[in-house]
A and B are shown apart, each in its own frame.
Chain A
Amino acid sequence: MSALAEILFGGLFQGSLYAMMAVGLALVWTTIGVFNFSHGVFMMLGAYIAWQLVELGLPAAVAFPIAVVVMAGVGWILQASVVRPLIGRPNIVLVVVITTLAAGSLIENGALTIWGPRSKQIPALITGNTTVGGVGVSLHQIAIIVITPLILAALCMFLNRTRLGLALRAVAQNEDASHLVGLNVTALYGLAFAIAASLAGLAGIFMGGYRFMSPVMGSDPLLKALIVVVFGGISSISGPIFAAYLIGFFEAACSYYFGLYWTPALLFGVLILTLMVRPEGIFASRSRGLA
């Protein structure tokens, strides 16, 4: 009973964080067709901005939303500076890997210079602990497990039910045709990055509430999100969401039965197996598009 509860709980919790990260990667990939390697840095920066605002005396309920909004701006600026100028060039996928990696490295080291290497922590969403099915858990983690699906559902509603969401899905499928119905393609690219960065920033705030933060805190979640999107297929946003939870459960089960050291190896085993058997991802159709 306790083993099952532990795996279930750990899977839901990790899955939530991975889903928040992976959805942003998928959103940027489907709309712009590039892979954003500064996504992990968005996570770190969101957490540090929230920490700074709390440090300045703002209550968490004010600081966290501000940090998320600031991250939207950061995403937009990053897109305008290192992605947009390259659109239309040959080899854009590879070039953007390099530019976003470089930008991420600059931001990471910038954070190190500004905030220093000492680990920090931001307040939990809800303080306190409880016991579920014989497993001790923090209320912060339960809050994350509850809030994440709500946010992802809101994102899906936005993409599927609003005209702006429709425009984002359209740009993902055919750029020329999007121009010809009068969509502002550049702005939509910026919006995709802004949403992705906000979600990553929020994931960072969630993470900073139960683990110590450091300027490199985003690199491991980025790697996991990468596994998630390869596993689930990057051509939609619902695929990575399901995949994130599956990977979360898998990771929780592995670390319970085989220990923490074997878990990354087994995760990469899953990644390699997916690439061999079904390279487009298990939930993917063969086309690019949001839905």
Chain B
Amino acid sequence: MNPILSVEGVTAGYGRVTVLHDISLEAGRFGNVGLFGPNGHGKTTLLRAISGLLQPKSGRILFDGQDIVGHSARAIVGAGLIHVPQGNRLFPDLSIADCMALGAYSPRARPHEAENREKVVKLFPKLAERWRQRVRTLSGGERQMVSIGTALMSHPRLLILDEPTLGLAPKIKDELCASVMDISRGGVPLIVVEQDIEFLLELTQQLYLVNHGAVATEIKPGESLDHGEIMSMYFGH
């Protein structure tokens, strides 16, 4: 199976600061992909480069065989590569219903709007109860559900989640992890950035440790690791 996304030698940063140094990775060849590693080492920057929010200085990003570097974020969303950013900030004064309508804004997603809305409601029944409520009045977990729901409304062919469980209470976190597993079983390939390695090990088939803006270690399917080994990678030897 060809990778749906491949990042080839991408260098990117903000102003004169380079965050990503010639980073390369692939997603979709073996299933879901997990990215982990210390904070401030370029995971979010990599995702921003992939979704077109940040222009890389060099390198190629192939989505479904097509180089998307230089494409607008809108074109990338239109192609079905959907990025749920970190921190569920979204649109605080819009209702859940409004967010879902926005998710289906691209011409590709529009015809599937009703069907996707049904999927979202089935996945997150809690949202249906608060359909007309403003996002700012929701709890952190509910806001994360709105973020992911909005992304599902965009009819993703590849879904990127940036720390979906950040800052959530354990019970809510478990619920959300189960929902993410459901999405994956529904046939959408995922790239997930997460600090919770247990969750990544369960969800993904391929892991990348991102350190100092590059891939420090790649863990392919079959090369299962125990917790101790990952901890030692994280914190050095």
A residues contacting B by CB (< 8 A) are 163, 166-167, 169-170, 173-174, 176-177, 179-184, 285, 287, 289, 291
Contacts and interface: CB of A to CB of B under 8 A. Distances in A.
A291 B109 CA distance: 25
Contacts of B102: 166-167, 170, 181, 183
B105 A163 contact: yes
A169 B94 contact: yes
A176 B85 contact: yes
Nearest to A169: B94
B94 A182 contact: no
Given A179-B53, A181-B103, A183-B105, A166 B98 contact: yes
Nearest to A184: B74
B154 interface: yes
A103 B51 CA distance: 35
A180 B94 contact: no
Nearest to B147: A177
B73 A179 contact: yes
What's the interface size class on B, roughly?
A: 20 to 34
A289 B93 contact: yes
A20 to B, nearest CB: 24
B74 A177 contact: no
Contact of B154 (A167, A169, A182, A184): A182
B83 interface: yes
Nearest to A171: B91
Interface in B68-112: 73-74, 77-78, 82-85, 89-94, 98, 101-103, 105-106, 109
B11 interface: no
A287 B92 CA distance: 9
A177 B91 contact: yes
Given A176-B53, A180-B51, A184-B74, A289 B92 contact: yes
Contacts of B84: 180
A181 B73 CA distance: 9
B55 to A, nearest CB: 12
A180 B101 contact: no
A18 B109 CA distance: 41
Nearest to B108: A182
Contact of B93 (A167, A182, A291): A291
A167 B105 contact: yes
Interface of B: 51-53, 73-74, 77-78, 82-85, 89-94, 98, 101-103, 105-106, 109, 136, 150, 154
Contacts of A287: 92-93, 136
A177 B85 contact: yes
Given A163-B101, A180-B82, A285-B93, 10 more contacts: A169-B93, A173-B92, A173-B93, A174-B91, A177-B85, A179-B52, A179-B73, A181-B150, A182-B73, A182-B74
List of 3 A-B pairs having minimum Cβ-Cβ separation, nearest first: A182-B77, A179-B73, A182-B106
Contacts of B101: 163, 166
A136 B115 CA distance: 61
22 contacts: A167-B105, A170-B91, A170-B102, A173-B91, A174-B90, A174-B91, A176-B53, A177-B89, A179-B73, A180-B53, A180-B77, A180-B82, A181-B106, A181-B150, A181-B154, A182-B73, A182-B74, A183-B74, A183-B102, A285-B93, A289-B92, A291-B93
A167 B105 CA distance: 9
A291 B98 CA distance: 12
A166 B101 CA distance: 9
B73 A180 contact: yes
A181 B84 CA distance: 9
A182 B105 contact: yes
Contacts of A174: 89-92
Contacts of B106: 181-182
A180 B92 contact: no
A170 B94 contact: yes
Nearest to A181: B102
Contact of A181 (B77, B89, B93): B77
Contacts of A177: 85, 89-91
A289 B93 CA distance: 7
B208 to A, nearest CB: 22
